[in-house]
Structure 1
Amino acid sequence: MSPTLHIWPGRDPARAVRVWPDPEALDPGAIEEAQEHLFVLAGAPGASEADLLIDELPLEALRAPEPDGARWRWLPGFHAGVVECRLRLPGASHRFEVTTDPAVRKLSRDAFDTMVREVLEDTFALFALSPFRKGVARGAGRRPPPIARLEFLRSRMAALIQTIRAIDARPRRVLQAQDDLTPFWRAGRATAPEVLKSFRSGMLLAESGLPRLPPALKGHVPATIRRSVRRPSLDIPAHRQMKASLESWARWLESVAVVLRSSLPEDPEDGRMARVWAQRTRLMARDMRRLLSLPLFSEVSQGQPRPDASPIWRGEPQYRRFAALHRDFSRGVAEVFGEFLQMPLARTFDLYELWAYLRLVRASIERFGADGVDVSGLFEAGKGVTLAAGQAVVRLPAAGVALCFQRRYREYWLEKDGCGSFSREMRPDVAVEALDGAGRLIVLDAKYRIGAGLNDALASAHMYRDALVVADGEGSVRQLVSAAYLLSPASPIIAGTWSDAPMPGRLFHPAYRGQFRFGAVSLAPGMSAAQIGLALDAILQDAEVSGEGASN
């Protein structure tokens, strides 16, 4: 009996599904977050010494009733629809992926990639408005890149490999003129210009015996005839640029692996992630090197590592795909840093907070203009394109507001302006503060998923609205928050009155938000700038109507 590994969703053996080898498909929703599941190994000699790791983190082993079996307990929190597993058996180690929910996997992967792409785009755009100057399109250096950037690059590898192999199967060729050296006695089809050209170099043979050559040759003929022929060639500018790009990315990934290995953080969790990504970047670089060994690049010379304005990048579908992938890789290898980018796919909800803030900042600047805007608070001085680690503030004088990211509100009696909490220190994800000094605030709490955690999400919004106050100078206080909203990528269908809508859709109803200055606003990865602008208007509208917010 060969060893097999099954997962028991909810510890129920009747729902067991094989995950290794020859994995079976799990039913959508079978793996629920915050619920306990079991991995069960059977038929494995030496199973008592086996270990199971998910994302290189060992699972808790349980006592198995069979001598050739093993069990592990898994309590997932937020999961992105797929986990990477490694089963260590005596004398062997097996790596495989477990797709816990194909739909969640696709949504989480797409959302994560979109958010990383848009975070990098927004960072570049906002950095251009700052007084700092720094080159960003260079190598790894001595500073390990953030995990989110590596996760983004890794997600593009499958598409890159597929695209390059498709081009290798049907590449674009060009006819190039080459000199073909042929002995004179085999050059019966040589033209007069080719014969005359061959006189310029090489050995000449003198005719002996009965003259048979044309008089113009004066009894001599070249020993080798240099003929001009046209042969198909793969050495075109597009292939040179592809080859140079792959070589550049492979070197970058190899250097990143060295940096990650040589500068392991002291924190055990951070050190584990660094080791995991050092291995992954080495594998990615190895895949790049395999692509470079394809016949497509065997006769291609060196070029610039970027596509030019040639029509081939727009006219040929596979070449167009490579150009799009090149843009993604260029964003991923650019020198953009920040603590908020140190997160893998499994922490998509953390990345959503930063993404939502940057999207709102950029939409605000496009909506109200860049006059008087100071974005230097987004970046750490002297560290290039490094997002500040907290309390970032962007002031928009034209809008009359300031957008704050994770600003800390201490007890109000400790603050100079009297604005703070009456209970404990609080740090909302995004805060919109009025600049008129009247002490008005809109609190935005980013929640990537509010379905299962609806009660907790509502509790945090109520907490911010009720606990943040401002002192009036006479010993009394009043509420500081004029509106509190949840930000979520969910987009429920809203019909009828808000009182008839079920939760959580009721929170998104415009009439509900307008009446209570409380609810939720849709902010999803991939939304256009115009849609983000509409969401921003919806956020500011209630405060404007009540006379307690920013005016435009």
Structure 2
Amino acid sequence: MVQHNSGVSFSVWDHSTQSWQSIEEGFLEEARSYRWRCMSNEPIQITMQSVPLLMTKMIEGWEGVFETPFQSGFIQFEIRTGEQLNRIESYVYPDGRKLTLQQYETLLQEVIEEAVICFEKGGLEADVNAAGFSRKCSMLQWNYIESQIIQLRTIFRKMESHPLRVLRRKEEIVKREKIKQITPSTLSWMERYGQTYGGSPSRLPSHLKSTIVKETFNVYENQVVLAQLNELRKLLQDYSKMNHAVIRKKALQYIDWISRWKKTNFLNKVKPHIGTIKITQVFRKHPMYRLWFQWFQNLYNYKNITFDIKDRLPLKDTYELYEMWCYMQIVKSLRELDLLESPSDMFTYQDNYYFLNLSENKQSVVHLVNGAKLTYQKIIQNNTKPYYSYTQRMIPDIVIENRGSLYVLDPKYRVSSNLSMALGEMHKYRDGILNSETDQKVVEEVYILTPKRAVMPEEKDFYDQDFHQKYKMGAFCFKPGVEIKGFKDWVKGLFF
């Protein structure tokens, strides 16, 4: 269990609020320098991810500067003062060049939605239903938990500050000196039962029946919250037993969070709900309880998925998910144009279970009409056929093969400027990939897929259709929630 910070004030200068914030509450971004200060007059040692921090002694405490890694996720600080060691955990968010957390969730959801359609279209569903529902641990589900657990923690903290509560009336037999108000029901009870409790015409009974009003948190919505925490904890226990060191460590950490949440005042005396959960007006309209309920609804959606992925897709490696998302968006465009012949090769069968076969260097292939193909991570080297490379081993991310020609699409989610340099690298595909029989160049067109349009005037032409037609290269904007009409028009021209 991670120790809590006790007695040491460790703060960071928050660029977003322009103020000093505790390290737990401060907003940290990747690859950015932050001033810090620690209000302690004793000699101290501070490490960030086990790396010592340089510091300067000030009049009050210590100060210094640290730079966050170019990697989002949890980050741990250790502060040693004498024999006392305090561990403080914070979170590093993606920088502006990366996709936001909300976009990450959208990417993952849209990959799953299209994969479900292709899974059913490939006629694979009937063979795997039983295995799918019996499978407890899923990389798709873990990706959701890992990327959204911070949001759940924030929601819980706000719920804890203003939890639901009600006043309940209960009739109890209490000592007469504790009676605060005499009601008609109390007088009626005295006439009927007063003598039983030592009463007589000359004196009052030692005990009286009175209506007690008590505040309680044991309401339906809090009961559901506790039941969902119990279920999430049980689910995380399964992940803590997986043969994956990083997942085991994080699962145990999340279990520790849930254990602390369950000990909070408003859940301490609540009984967990048992049975079917109904959507009440509170879950529909209360700002925090509604978000809490939606979080678990999204979690439960993964129970109905009859396939999985083999690899983790952590937020820090968003480029992998972005590449997969671009590929699935292209699959979607081809499907909507009725160009898909068989998407079943997107899935691989192993250990009585289907996996979405979009791992790196796996050459996942979707067969299109008239013998065309769409390939993810196509491997081309000096001994491959029918296409080879005479320079170096090449693995273009997405390749459309049609009528003996190749069209290379390369997702670059960090590129928002310097498109000219990125496009310059695409020449290796146009010039270095040849037909193994004729030794002729086979790459007709190359394009970069990026979530942000360039802002530099000289780079805006790369997105224009006239530029594409003239130079057979350029860029398409692939961004969550944005229609890719320009790309669909290009596909139509390619096949029709």
TM-score (norm 2): 0.70
1:512 alignment partner, one of 458, 467, 470: 467
Aligned to 2:495: 550
Cα distance change, pair 383–352 in 1 and its aligned pair in 2 (3 A): farther
Paired residue type of 2:296: H
- 1:158 and 2:153 equivalent? yes
Q: Which runs of 5+ in 1 are unaligned?
A: 8-16, 191-204, 206-225, 265-270, 495-500
Cα distance change, pair 187–21 in 1 and its aligned pair in 2 (3 A): closer
1:129 alignment partner, one of 110, 115, 121: 121
| In 1, Cα distance between equivalents of 2:26 and 2:266 | 37
Cα distance change, pair 381–302 in 1 and its aligned pair in 2 (3 A): same
Aligned to 1:394: 366
Aligned to 2:201: none
Q: Deviations over 1:109-161 (max 9, x none)?
A: 333333233334444443333415245566745x8778744431323323431
Paired residue type of 1:169: P
| In 2, Cα distance between equivalents of 1:249 and 1:155 | 14
> Deviation at 1:358?
2.0
Q: Secondary structure at the match of 2:257?
A: helix
Cα distance change, pair 156–119 in 1 and its aligned pair in 2 (3 A): farther
The answer to whether the 8 A contact 1:26-1:101 is kept is no
Aligned to 2:296: 326
- 1:502 and 2:496 equivalent? no
| In 2, Cα distance between equivalents of 1:232 and 1:71 | 48
> Deviation at 1:280?
3.2
Aligned to 2:347: 378
Identity in percent = 15
CA RMSD after TM alignment: 5.3
Cα distance change, pair 350–467 in 1 and its aligned pair in 2 (3 A): same
Aligned to 1:250: 233
Aligned to 1:422: 390
| In 2, Cα distance between equivalents of 1:182 and 1:44 | 58
The answer to whether the 8 A contact 2:445-2:473 is kept is yes
Q: Deviations over 1:381-436 (max 9, x none)?
A: 44535222321112233x8743211021233x641xx22323333211111122xx
How many residue pairs align between the two structures? 451
Aligned to 1:447: 412
**Mapping 1:37-56, distance limit 5 Å:** 45=43, 47=45, 51-53=47-49
- 1:355 and 2:330 equivalent? no
| In 1, Cα distance between equivalents of 2:173 and 2:44 | 70
Aligned to 2:439: 477
| In 2, Cα distance between equivalents of 1:74 and 1:169 | 38
> Deviation at 1:347?
1.9
> Deviation at 1:84?
1.8
> Deviation at 1:232?
9.5
> Deviation at 1:515?
1.8
| In 2, Cα distance between equivalents of 1:515 and 1:115 | 32
TM-score (norm 1): 0.64
Q: Secondary structure at the match of 2:240?
A: helix
The answer to whether the 8 A contact 1:406-1:430 is kept is yes
**Mapping 1:51-450, distance limit 5 Å:** 51-53=47-49, 58-59=50-51, 76=69, 78-80=70-72, 84-87=75-78, 89=80, 91=83, 92-97=85-90, 103=96, 107-130=99-122, 131-132=124-125, 133-134=128-129, 136=132, 140-141=136-137, 148-162=143-157, 164-165=159-160, 169-170=163-164, 189=185, 238-259=221-242, 263-264=243-244, 271=245, 274=246, 277-294=247-264, 297=267, 298-304=269-275, 307-308=277-278, 312-330=282-300, 337-339=308-310, 341-368=311-338, 372-382=341-351, 384-388=353-357, 389=359, 390-397=362-369, 401-411=372-382, 414-415=384-385, 418-434=386-402, 438-450=403-415
Q: Which runs of 5+ in 2 are unaligned?
A: 1-7, 175-181, 187-195, 197-208
Cα distance change, pair 304–367 in 1 and its aligned pair in 2 (3 A): farther
Cα distance change, pair 144–100 in 1 and its aligned pair in 2 (3 A): closer
Q: Deviations over 1:313-344 (max 9, x none)?
A: 434444432232123333578876434x4243
